[in-house]
Chain A
């Protein structure tokens, strides 16, 4: 069986495995002996193509006066439909100095809805919201503030560095209400707040991909591997890594991907593609360049080490004197050209990233509308393969987090057993009018760690930062997503009833 996926609009998680719908299409094709086109309706998409895991989490926690976590208890219920659901650990990232103070229990609650699949950083988003909300609340109670309570419970200095950078970029220093919500509304009846949250992800690679890099007699350069582009730029870096090895511009190389007959590749999930694939492309390109140098050296009567590829030419490796153009060099090849295979090289990939984000929001006290004004994302990813793509991925993560922070919700009617809003009128997604100023920052301090995937961590902390910013603005602690006007208004009413600020 061969799978062909030339282009995919975006793969955010309704994947892994064929699913009943894919199975039905395959069986129909076998039966009919004809191609079958499977197209789900929007409702099917919501009901049978894999969902995101839900979670209900109860947290009890205590801190010392300086904000150090001393006791932490979490009771986690995962909601994964007919599957177990996902939750990635408690506490998430933060650590207790004395683990004796930690207790947690996890169980799955099963419903008749479709199983959760690997959607949008499964488990992390849920785990982030619980700990980031609890810790934030304690930060205000202890009087140490939103930034310091986090640093106080993080031993990894990378987080300190990234939180400081996010704080600087969001304008924390000059922010007037650091230790308590804004007291009086501005003239427009709004209050403004800032919130923080952090993330982590593995993103490491593994041995799986087989890449072939081939140079043709006509000067063509091709990297072939049976991977796919989920819409995140795989095609670009596969070509770029090969082109770079031969001193050629990106346009000179072709990535042949999107077909399983092109050779083994890893499953596109867990943000592991870049770290699994890029080293193998590099290895294949390196091997092919070596082979080409050896071939050319014979003809030129020199040693292979004396030759290098630079600026579209074959040059002397010391001094850089041009010996022949790329085209001339390739013309010396036989009709089969030259090619070499490559495999994953552990020394070219790393594992484990951090991430810190900050959000600035404005809350309209009359309507409960939350407007996100600005988001900052600081993200390490080892060696960034393509800065524009990394920044774009960070923006995309922040945008999706904003969207489910403010709007997205599958409304499940338990009495009737129906999803009430399986369409894009009632399942609301943020549009261009909700977009804030976005500041994507690549943290390059640890660039030497090799390639690490950074797709999913970008989506993990945004909603938590927004929730914390809402509290910082108006004193309403929202404990469930999405943060819609009704919840904000209910929260403000409760505050007013308890004698809090209006």
Chain B
């Protein structure tokens, strides 16, 4: 690992002062728990001169639920605390389930909400120091023609990464917003709009975060009355592993009829993949297995598998059916 200077600002203002201009983006990196960043540095995928450690920022690790049920998650809140919070588990089970599904106990004890949402892709080619791929400024996404078992079946091209975060699909399904601060101002946007498809934005990045911005916290609106939710993740191995596919699902059912639904897929696209057509189809339909099956088919109807990942279509469909069944039985 290349030697670096560690900057430890004591306030948000100080931190924002230290954030780089776009041209220096690679020189100065923000670090939270370091569970992703340090592995990138050890593999020499990035070689920053300065690390901006956020851990001294007061109040950045808060988890608050106000009287109305609105939730605030500070960027430095650990994944363990998200997973273990009883109030959150009661009102928004999918968020706690997603947090608990991440990595291992050790990593969850250190990894943070902000770090999880901003972690970099796990694509084999991106992670290999010897493969100069599109994501690292090369000209080619090797996974398109190469090994792509774990890559995207939706929204791919020109890069075919999948976004690795488990928290992201759950939070998108919960309608969360992120607050981004920069010197002198801040902006709030739906988490769904925080992530960008490689074909719409800069293929080197997965989000709209500016070089001079920090994600300070996440806000989740109070769920509607009767909203039930779950996060189902499928991984190849029982202990720490990333999702082959995952489903964040939410439903309001009244008198056996779906009033509203949320469906977001993880592990299948470069962003948390909101299945809007399926959500629209579900509204007003009877809450029964045939409905789930049809919704699952609609959600995957635009899938364009690569050579090794066609299995993700059936897998995602089956998980969607399973998730809605779990919510209604």
Contact of A431 among B122, B239, B315 (CB under 8 A): B239
In the complex, the answer to whether B128 meets A366 with C-beta atoms within 8 Å is no
A486 and B308 contact, Cβ closer than 8 Å, known pairs A411-B147, A420-B147, A431-B237:
yes
In Å, the complex CA distance between A415 and B122 comes to 20
Contacts of B312 in A (CB 8 A): 486
Contacts of B322 in A (CB 8 A): 366
**Is the C-beta of B324 less than 8 angstroms from some C-beta in chain A?**
no
In the complex, chain A residues 350-394 whose Cβ is within 8 Å of any chain B Cβ: 366-369
**Is the C-beta of B236 less than 8 angstroms from some C-beta in chain A?**
yes
Please count the residue pairs between chain A and chain B whose beta carbons lie under 8 angstroms apart in the complex: 81
In Å, the complex CA distance between A434 and B318 comes to 22
In the complex, the answer to whether B238 meets A431 with C-beta atoms within 8 Å is yes
Contacts of A415 in B (CB 8 A): 142, 145-146
**Is the C-beta of A142 less than 8 angstroms from some C-beta in chain B?**
no
In the complex, the answer to whether B311 meets A490 with C-beta atoms within 8 Å is yes
The chain A residue sitting closest to B232, CB to CB, is: A367
The minimal Cβ–Cβ distance linking A493 to chain B, given in whole angstroms, is 6
In the complex, the answer to whether B237 meets A413 with C-beta atoms within 8 Å is no
In the complex, chain A residues 177-210 whose Cβ is within 8 Å of any chain B Cβ: none
The minimal Cβ–Cβ distance linking A366 to chain B, given in whole angstroms, is 4
The chain B residue sitting closest to A421, CB to CB, is: B124
In the complex, chain B residues 179-211 whose Cβ is within 8 Å of any chain A Cβ: none
In the complex, chain A residues 483-502 whose Cβ is within 8 Å of any chain B Cβ: 484-487, 489-490, 492-493
The minimal Cβ–Cβ distance linking A485 to chain B, given in whole angstroms, is 6
**Is the C-beta of B125 less than 8 angstroms from some C-beta in chain A?**
yes
**Is the C-beta of B131 less than 8 angstroms from some C-beta in chain A?**
yes
Contact of B239 among A413, A418, A433, A490 (CB under 8 A): A433
In the complex, the answer to whether B146 meets A433 with C-beta atoms within 8 Å is no
The chain A residue sitting closest to B245, CB to CB, is: A367
In Å, the complex CA distance between A425 and B240 comes to 8
Contact of B237 among A368, A430, A487 (CB under 8 A): A430
The chain A residue sitting closest to B39, CB to CB, is: A425
In Å, the complex CA distance between A485 and B308 comes to 12
**Is the C-beta of B149 less than 8 angstroms from some C-beta in chain A?**
yes
In the complex, chain A residues 445-502 whose Cβ is within 8 Å of any chain B Cβ: 484-487, 489-490, 492-493
In the complex, the answer to whether B124 meets A486 with C-beta atoms within 8 Å is no
Count of chain A residues with a beta carbon within 8 Å of a chain B beta carbon: 29
Contacts of B240 in A (CB 8 A): 425
In terms of DSSP, what is the predominant structure of the interface of chain A? loop
**Is the C-beta of A20 less than 8 angstroms from some C-beta in chain B?**
no
**Is the C-beta of A345 less than 8 angstroms from some C-beta in chain B?**
no
**Is the C-beta of B310 less than 8 angstroms from some C-beta in chain A?**
yes
The chain B residue sitting closest to A496, CB to CB, is: B314
The chain B residue sitting closest to A430, CB to CB, is: B237
The chain B residue sitting closest to A429, CB to CB, is: B237
In the complex, the answer to whether B311 meets A407 with C-beta atoms within 8 Å is no
In the complex, the answer to whether A366 meets B318 with C-beta atoms within 8 Å is yes
Contact of A428 among B146, B241, B321 (CB under 8 A): B241
In the complex, the answer to whether B310 meets A490 with C-beta atoms within 8 Å is yes
**Is the C-beta of A306 less than 8 angstroms from some C-beta in chain B?**
no
Contacts of B319 in A (CB 8 A): 366-367
**Is the C-beta of B67 less than 8 angstroms from some C-beta in chain A?**
no
In the complex, the answer to whether B146 meets A418 with C-beta atoms within 8 Å is no
Residues of A within 8 A of B (CB): 366-369, 406-407, 411, 413, 415-416, 418, 420-421, 425-426, 428, 430-434, 484-487, 489-490, 492-493
Given A413-B142, A486-B309, 15 more A-B residue pairs with CB atoms under 8 Å apart are A367-B234, A369-B234, A420-B128, A426-B124, A426-B127, A428-B236, A431-B237, A431-B238, A434-B237, A485-B234, A485-B236, A485-B315, A489-B315, A490-B310, A492-B314
Sample of 22 A–B contacts (CB below 8 Å) = A366-B318, A366-B322, A367-B234, A367-B318, A368-B311, A369-B236, A407-B237, A411-B124, A413-B147, A415-B142, A415-B145, A416-B130, A416-B131, A416-B142, A418-B131, A420-B128, A432-B238, A434-B238, A484-B236, A485-B311, A492-B314, A493-B314
